Structure 1
Amino acid sequence: MRIRLGVLIIATLLAGCDQSAPVDKGFAGLGNQAAAFTPVVPGRVFSFPADHGSHDGFRIEWWYVTANLKDAQGREFGVQWTLFRSALQATPEQAGWANRTLWLGHAAVTSAAVHHAAERYARGGVGQAGVNLTPFDAWIDDWRFSSQATVADPLADLQLSARDKGFSYQLHLTSNRPLVLQGDQGFSQKSEQGQASYYYSQPFFQASGTLEIDGETHQVSGPAWLDREWSSQPLTANQTGWDWFSLHLDSGEQVMLYRMRQKDGGPYLTGTWIDAQGQAQLLKADDIRLAPQDTTRVAGRKMPVSWSIQIPGKHLDIVISALNPGAWMDLRIPYWEGPVRLSGSHGGQGYLEMTGY
């Protein structure tokens, strides 16, 4: 999925920047009606590379990358980079300060002992943040996710970089696998009432480069995952948060799962099984058995940092556990996000995000 946490922060910004902003409903205000914005409906035909860029008329969207990395000594690290776009009005973007778009960036690094996170904010139209297509370039200040040349597939060869107090990274990402349309051909439903987003991923990136954490530099490499998602009203007022998983299996297969927790009734659960060639299969709630296991106290909250996951139809029976249980994103609106290890029927690694706790 990726109902990204930046949307929560942007909802707060909207309330402060636009006097006509509606009162929040549901988690992060994402249950608010958005009648003026473009709805998400089944049957969209995706177009690449155009859909790598911004989508006027939709209220929210994001470009999100995670990477599970190791250095030459086998030490494990996680990297996260996200750019969020939020429109105050359902109109095309304008140049200058008349622009009604807000941008937000998140970056983080995690080791078994350390977790650093940072955020950046920008107003659209003044060059501080944005997304270009030729060549592809997504940026906020000096944080960048960009292609070095104008090529047919701008996501085939990219550079990813960010820096802040205590950390920096410069990674080279490559992939020769196809993009994956999540949900029903890219229509990713989030509730029984029909709330949804358009959602695709590139889960087959291979990353390599340099990571610096607390003054120590590491040459690292490992798998990386890109999520692209946009919507106008992705949640209901009844939904209080989510648990999202992206998993790289040692078999070469990939798994995406999300569980939307609700005030009333059981969670909305779905996902995608991606084979080693990139063919995707929608997973419904009946296909998945997902349950929290061990918990730990983080920032005064009880967080489920270990989960059991079973997909009987794929002979998957694993437990995932956090590399660093204290991977708390202590930002303006805090949440938990960090790398995880896999054990059981399949080995591997991945990422977990938990919101609303």
Structure 2
Amino acid sequence: MITPSPLRRGLFTLCLLSLGACGPAPEPGSEADDGAEENRSSGRAGFADLGAASQGYAHASPATELQFPADHGPHPDFRIEWWYLTANLEDKHGEPLGMQWTLFRQAQQPKAPDAPASGTEAVDQANTAPWAAEQLWMAHMALSRGEHHRVAERFARGASKPLMRAAQQAGVTARPFRAWLDDWRLESLITNPGDDALNHLMLTAQAEDEKGAFGYQLELEADGPLVRHGINGFSQKSADGQGSMYYSQPFYRVSGEVWLNDERVAVSGRAWLDREWSSQLLSAGQTGWDWFSLHLDSGARLMAFRLRGGGANHDDYLSGSWITPDGEVTPLNADAFTLMPQAFATASGHRVPVRWRLTLPEQSLELEITARHANRWMNTSVPYWEGAVSVTDAVSGAPRGQGYLEMTGY
């Protein structure tokens, strides 16, 4: 196992939290400096500075058309990006387990206005320093069962020189699809060039901490189509118009094995992959989000999020997608559903909502969403809560499904 050094981890965290501090400072009096000054004067720039000024980067837009398989790969002209996989698993006895694996990419600085497109020979020649790196990478993995919640984090730099890129420590390729950091990897098993590369994947990751080794090897096969969120893949995140390009593959069936506490366990279940990239994900006043991905027993799927702050009247900003069993999508705005916390608990010293009420009048649904365990805090460089949830009918208590919940900014 490769463990990041404290220096390497610290440098990456500084870059990640500042989202651009590793790049050059804006010129005094410039448009970029005006935006930076606005963020400084307000004392905040959204959760983890994801609402910071982003001049010079490409921006997500409703006019952008998603292109596959190219969009399965990286978008280096955007500031931030992730490949985000969660799964609700169970063993042969029906005991539930939860799994997360995420690869994050962050650009260190926007390319110069007159620079060629990323990846061209001219850019490669310009980055002649042996340690030149345009991108930083971070990966998280988590495995949960009962009271056990194991978490690991790794970091890497993206190499710029051609001779280094072939063996770089982390990266993503669209064709053939492969996402990796060290020996953590998510790879396509598709052999027919006419099939989508994400339809059949293999995920492998393992780590070790003071409690021993843990990890998983899981095969994922999709039985439904890719899903575009928002307006043809543009997902708005605030009343001011900030947003991301966002699509998902929510139809995975999973099989494989996990190892935890010196035990290897065969598992099966359902998984959800999110793909998202942006240069300014939030508005400056948004303090965090509560994001749900739900597999309902009816065969429908639901993605919903609440961004705290950023609404038209400084209230919360709500958005989501209702997905039928055959993959048809209905965008959900704040008039289409309500999402309210009902109960709180303490996780690693943080008070977080662990039970929610979600109503969908058009679908005649009133759901109770409950975290299976409160202690799912991800004590990573940018800490957050991530864990499996159970879905029941809010009136009768009957089971309605399962899924995952992510909460940031608590």
Using CA pairs under 8 Å that are at least 6 residues apart, name the structure with larger relative contact order, 1 or 2: 1
Aligned to 2:31: none
In 1: Cα distance, 2:407 partner to 2:217 partner: 26
- Range that drifts further, 258-267 or 198-207: 258-267
The equivalent of 1:212 in structure 2 is: 259
8 Å Cα contact 2:91/2:266 also seen in 1: yes
1:131 aligns with 2:172: yes
**CA–CA separation in structure 1 for the residues paired with 2:198 and 2:61:** 26
Q: 1:16 to 1:163 in 2, by over 3 A?
A: farther
- 1:41, 1:35 → 2: CA distance? 15
CA distance in 2, matches of 1:10, 1:114: 31
Higher deviation after alignment, 64-73 or 145-154? 145-154
Q: Number of matched residues?
A: 351
CA contact (8 A) 2:15 2:108 kept: no
- Residue number among 201, 222, 228 corresponding to 1:181 in the alignment: 228
1:312 paired with 2:361, answer yes
Measure the CA separation in 1 of the matches of 2:247 and 2:13. 21
Residue 130 of structure 1 deviates from its aligned partner by 0.2
TM-score (norm 2): 0.82
Write out per-residue CA displacement over residues 32-71 of structure 1, whole angstroms, 9 at most, x where no aligned residue. 1111001211121111111100113111111000000011
- Give 2:200's aligned residue: 157
- Which range is displaced more, 310-319 or 197-206? 310-319
> Contact 2:15/2:21 (CA < 8 Å) preserved in 1?
no
Structure 1 residues 116 and 81 mapped into 2: Cα distance closer, same or farther (>3 Å)? same
Q: Equivalences for 1:42-191 in 2 at 5 Å?
A: 42-91=62-111, 92=118, 97-125=131-159, 126=164, 127-150=168-191, 151-152=193-194, 153-165=196-208, 166-191=213-238
Match of 2:25 among 4, 15, 20: 20
CA contact (8 A) 2:13 2:381 kept: no
Q: Which amino acid aligns with 2:91?
A: D
Q: CA deviation at 1:15?
A: 6.3
Is contact 2:22–2:109 with CA below 8 Å preserved after alignment?
A: no
Select between 106-115 and 144-153 the one with higher mean Cα deviation: 144-153
State the Cα distance separating 1:206 from its structure 2 match: 0.6
The residue that corresponds to 1:347 in the other structure is: 400
Query: What fraction of aligned residue pairs are identical, expressed as a percent?
Result: 47
Counterpart in the other structure of 2:305? 258
Aligned mates of 2:392, 2:25 — CA distance in 1? 49
Mind listing any 5+ residue stretches in structure 1 that lack a counterpart? Answer: 1-6
Say if 2:96 and 2:145, in contact at 8 Å, map to a contact too: yes
How far residue 9 of structure 1 moved from its aligned partner, in angstroms, is 7.4
Question: How far 1:333 moved relative to its partner?
Answer: 2.5
Which residue of the other structure, out of 282, 291, 302, is the alignment partner of 1:235? 282
Q: 1:18 deviation in Å?
A: 4.0
The corresponding residue for 1:356 is: 409
Contact between 1:110 and 1:324, CA under 8 Å: does it hold in 2? no
Q: TM-score, normalised by structure 1?
A: 0.93
How big is the shift at 1:81?
A: 0.5
CA distance in 2, matches of 1:13, 1:288: 34
Q: Is the 8 A contact 1:9 1:333 kept in 2?
A: no
Pair 16,37 (structure 1): closer, same or farther in 2 beyond 3 Å:
closer
2:17 alignment partner, SS class? helix
